[in-house]
Structure formats: C-alpha cells, structure tokens
Amino acid sequence: MSGNSEQKHLTPLEELNEEFKRQYKQTWMNFWDSTIENNSVIVEKFSTITLFHKGDEYPGEKSIPPVYHDLKGIAHIPLTIYLLIKNSSYLTDDSLDKYWKGLNTLEIPNSLQPAEKESAIRIITASKVLLGEEMNQKGSLNLQKVKDFCRSLTGDLDVLLDAAAIVHVKNLHTIIQSWIKDHNFDPRDPSVKVLLIGPRSNRRNNLQTTYFQGLLDDPQGRRIVYTEELFADVPKAKSIFSRWFVDEEISDYFYNDQDRMHRELLMNERVQKQINDLVKP
C-alpha cells in the first residue's frame, strides 16, 4: 500500500479537535434546519428574494424591477468613459470605437421619468464629447479634463442612482408586505432573520441592509447577515448565516458578550502589546 493511501494517524489531541469540528458543523446545520422549520428567514440573493417560513420554501421573486437596470445602465456610461480613458494605453482591440458607436445609437429608455431623462441626456451628451476628444487625441487627453468631466456629472448620477434605489426598495417592500399578509408573521419578531448575498463585500449604508434594519426594527442589524458573491452558492451561504448566530450563543456562554466571536479571538490587549513590541522601530 502506498504512503498516500495510508490513513493519517491522529494524535489524541487531534482526535479531540476533530470531534470539535464535527460537533460545530452539526450545531450550525441544526440551527439552520430549526430556524426555517419554526421561524422565518428572508434570503435575497442578488436580484431574487426567497422566503423560508415554518418549514416551507416559497418560490423566489425578482426584487429588482427592469427600470432599475435602465437607470443603472445610464449611470454607468460616464464610469465606463473614465475607465476606457484610464485603460486607453492598454487597449489592443477596438473597444473605443465600439463604445462610441453604441453611444451614438443609444436611445433613452421610455421607463425613465422626465427628470431622469434630462439627466440621462446630459450624461450621454457630455460622454460623447469627452470620448470623441479622447479618440482624436489618441490617449493624450489631459487628466484634469477627465476629472472635470466626472465631477460635472455627479448631480445627474445622483438623480439616476437615487431613482434606482427607490424603485428597488419599493419593489422589495411590496413583495415582503405580500408575504407578511399571506403568512401572518411580524418582521419585528426577534425570530425573523435575513440573509443577504451580494456582489461584493458589505459596504457602509448598504441599501438592502438599511432597509431590513428598518423593517425588522433592528438598527444594529443583529438579525441580518450579509455575505458576498464569493460565497454565493446556497449551502456555503447557509453555513455562514448559521455560524454567525451559533457563534453569538457560544460568545454569550463563554464571555458574556455576544460579539466576542465576531471579533478575532486571537486578538486581545496582551497580543496587541506583543505585536507593538515586535514592530516598533
């Protein structure tokens, strides 16, 4: 029998630690099963929101309406112009030409409201001017001019992004209010929890997090877990969600502090002093 196929012999301490890992996994799995069986969990993964309630999973609904994408799409135009100019010396294809042609054939979506259309027109017009200059000067555009372009459009970007955020939360709220009515649960009940899966790490004042903090009357977001796209597969996201709440209970039992295991257990004042002593000049 080859060495690779031989089972590793564990020391007594390693065997005990393996049992810890097994029991910890079993605990968070039990937590998830118990929570969706007896309570309510709202899961929003990107643009789809799903309700787990009293043992049932209700089909996911689209939480983001089409107009949201129209608004964000227009708002991304000056950002794309900035990136194209920033990367112009590295471009080896006809990206500038393709974008120029697309910009000149673009029609403003009918879904936009009058004020949003006015902002869209200003954004598109300014973007055409700057991109045309960039193509004529072949990458030698003054960077201050690019910055002036970007800053001149922040007001119009805010108009579009504000509108996108509002249609998103309104649509989200409509779906959830329907669930509350149909399934008779109170989102302010401490047993109701939320799992959010987003495209990037959680940012301050995240839109969905802020909405659910208000809906759940949970200003600190203690019943809301956000995980990024890296862990978008549902089993991994469930694991992160469940472990968050299991760790709170363990923290309370050991430290009388629900947040202790949400902070690095290996870091405390003594360790910080050691690090300071090691790195000081």
- Three-class secondary structure of residue 42 per DSSP: strand
Sign of the torsion angle spanned by Cα atoms 143, 149, 155, 161: negative
Q: Do 45 and 73 reside in the same domain of the chain?
A: no
DSSP-assigned letters across all residues of 131-191: HHHHHHHTT---HHHHHHHHHHTHHHHHHHHHHHHHHHHHHHHHHHHHHHHHHT--TTSTT
Model pLDDT for residues 43-70, shown as the tens digit of each residue: 998 889 999 999 999 989 999 999 999 9
Question: How far is the first Cα of the chain from the last one, in angstroms, to the nearest whole number?
Answer: 54
Are 219 and 199 members of one domain?
yes
* Pairing status of strand 193-198 against strand 40-45: parallel
Number of domains the chain contains: 2
If asked whether residues 70 and 59 sit together in one domain, one would say no
Q: How many CA atoms lie within 13 A of 153 on its CB side?
A: 29
**Residue 17 within a domain:** no
Domain that holds residue 255: 26-63+186-281
pLDDT bucket at 232, cuts 50 / 70 / 90: low
The average confidence (pLDDT) of the chain is 88
Distance CA 279, CA 97 (A): 52
Q: Using CB atoms within 10 Å of the CB of residue 74, give its burial: 0 to 12 exposed, 13 to 18 middle, 19+ buried.
A: buried
Give the per-residue pLDDT at 182: 95
Q: Is residue 249 part of a domain?
A: yes
Same domain? For 190 and 278 the reply is yes
pLDDT the model gives residue 1? 44
The verdict on 155 and 75 lying in the same domain is yes
Asked whether residue 145 falls in the same domain as residue 229, the answer is: no
Rounded distance between C-alpha atoms, residue 29 and residue 245, angstroms: 11
DSSP 34: H
pLDDT score for 153: 93
pLDDT for res 144 = 85
Residue 207 and residue 251 share a domain: yes
Are 204 and 278 part of one and the same domain?
A: yes
Query: What is the arithmetic mean of pLDDT over 159-182?
Result: 94
**275 lies in the same domain as 248:** yes
Residues 87 and 150 in one domain: yes
Determine, yes or no, domain membership for 172: no
Q: Which three-class secondary structure string do you get for 87-145? A: CCCCCCCCHHHHHHHHHHCCCCCCCCCHHHHHHHHHHHHHHHHHHHHHHHHCCCCCHHH
Could you say which of 163, 197, 220 is where a domain stops?
A: 163
Q: What is the pLDDT of residues 79-105, one digit of tens each?
A: 998 888 888 777 666 888 899 999 999
Arithmetic mean of pLDDT, 231-252: 83
Structural domain contains residue 224:
yes
pLDDT at 139: 63
**Same-domain status, 152 and 73:** yes
The 10s digit of each residue's pLDDT in 126-156 is 999 998 888 887 766 678 888 899 999 999 9
Q: Which helix (H) or strand (E) holds 257?
A: none
Q: Which pLDDT score is estimated for 177?
A: 94
Q: Is 211 exposed, middle or buried (0-12, 13-18, 19+ CB in 10 A)?
A: buried
User: Is 180 inside a domain boundary?
Assistant: no
* 234 pLDDT more than 80: no
By C-alpha distance, which of 34, 61, 20, 25 is closest to 176?
61
175 inside domain: no
Q: Is residue 134 part of a domain?
A: yes
